[in-house]
Amino acid sequence: MTAHPLTTLPAWQALAAHAAALREVHLRDLFATDPDRFARFSFTLGPLTADYSKQRITAETLGLLMELAHARHVEAGRTAMFAGTPINTTENRAALHVALRNRAERALNVNGTDVMPEVRAVRARMAEFAGLIREGKWLGATGKSIRHIVNIGIGGSHLGPMFVADALKDYQRADLSLAFVSNPDRAQIDEVLATLDPEATLFIVASKTFTTAETTFNAQVARAWITAKMGESAVAHHFAAISTNLKAAAAFGIAENAVFPMWDWVGGRYSVWSAIGLAIVIACGPEVFDQFLAGGEAMDRHFETAPLEQNLPVILAMIGVWHTDFLDARALAILPYDHRLKLLPAHLQQLDMESNGKCVMLDGTPITGSGPIIFGTGGSDGQHSFFQLLHQGPKPIPCDFIASLKGGDETSRDLLLGNMFAQSEALMKGRTAADLASTPPELQAHRSFSGNRSSTTLLLEELTPYTLGKLIALYEHKVFVQGTVWGVNSFDQWGVELGKELAKSLEPAVRGNTDALQDRDSSTAGLVAAYLRAKALHKASPGSKGA
């Protein structure tokens, strides 16, 4: 088999040899021989500190990783992104989400046109619209002020704003409720609608094309709910949209001044900074959203200008490359020890796995593996579920521990952070035979821990809109750097598109047209047939709940 061009680079070969030499070196020994290891392998950037001293690295490791980053032209890729070059090559689009949080008087161009005037105009419209609702001036069809906001979206139009709104719940207006709907299973939207006053509810339909199947289904459910209560004319009072399809939004009944645009140079998983964040602006206020943008912008400036060796997104990205390609660690656990960050793992799953879950490089050359499997949950819950695998499973899984140092009750935070620090220490140290001298020999193997398991700890001084923006942008740039090193397009998602196409082609079959199953495999045809039989039985005896 012919060697891949990436793996034949001198920097890659040097890292492979270095990994073999480090294989028998334990983190315990690295700390024992270097009392200043924390100072040497940690990075503070304003209110954000990253401790990567518990990673299986040395100064030589980082040096070699930076050589690889230079060899893979990370600086050039970074410049191209900020220049609005169409780095999304399979769709011939720029990936200029950094423009969404650019607050400086700086032009950012796509196809030779500065996009910032339009971005600023949309921001101003969002603030104005949010102000009308927050001040009780945007009225429902019966004259009531809007007090319930429901965001209807899917993917990045759902996960991003839902995560940020939940993280910033302390900043939300108490008299404005906020809900998010994504699932076409009627159970979700029915549960939400049951708690709302239709005369005081505004739905935000977040769909760039206004054709996304799940979103348009839920939007039609919401529309029927509104019109059944107040008639067709009520739609204009109770709906807004984020979409480029003005014609479809108008046909739905949404007023033109309640439609906010998106751009094709923004991917869904990077869109929370755009009008997709409208629900956040309404619930938390334009000033809070501006601070969120400011945090993202600060990370952008650092990423754009800092040398690779002093660049936090680059450092964390290259440590991730070290894990996946040289230490055979193909997963990453995201472990926030802050209840307000509980949805961060879900947001990062989409950001990372949809971006770098690819099998070919930009030139179409197969690649053996790229992005890791991302999973996680709140650290306290995780300790009592999957942490057992992290500590004693046969395959080490690197971890990102994340917490804020201030906020909430001090006693609870003492307990929380004490647990987080202890978990990263336990993963690093393990438990040796010497530690188990008083344990019966037959139990020692069960109670021993190998340790030598890597983790990074990210500490926010406090969870604020600014630090949240900085944290999200850090991960965005980390994913971009890794995609550049692996040579993949981090901004398309053709695998997702295939599922959508097949679902569309199956619609006639699941609605009863069995002729549409003729060219399907036996499994798909059998599953659809089972569903059709269940539908027929339900219609025959609608009151039956099954055996």
Catalytic residues: 354, 384, 500
User: Residue with structure tokens 């709910």?
Assistant: 225
Question: E strands within 310-454?
Answer: 331-336, 373-376, 399-406
How crowded is the C-beta side of 316, counted as CA atoms within 13 Å?
27
Helix (H), strand (E) at residue 181: strand 177-181
Token digits of residue 263: 């751009």
Token digits of residue 511: 């609605």
User: In terms of DSSP H, where are the helices of 92-177?
Assistant: 116-134, 156-167
Q: Is residue 347 a contact partner of residue 159, using CB atoms and an 8 Å limit?
A: yes
3-class DSSP state for residue 141?
coil
Q: Rounded CA gap, 542 and 179, in Å?
A: 31
User: In terms of DSSP H, where are the helices of 246-306?
Assistant: 246-252, 278-284, 286-305
3-class DSSP state for residue 276?
helix
Residues counted in the chain:
547
Q: Crossing angle of helices 116-134/286-305, nearest 10°?
A: 150
Q: Rounded CA gap, 356 and 374, in Å?
A: 11
Q: Is residue 145 a contact partner of residue 139, using CB atoms and an 8 Å limit?
A: yes
Long-range contacts of 228-232 (CB under 8 A, 24+ apart): 229/198, 229/199, 230/140, 230/141, 230/142, 230/198, 230/199, 231/141
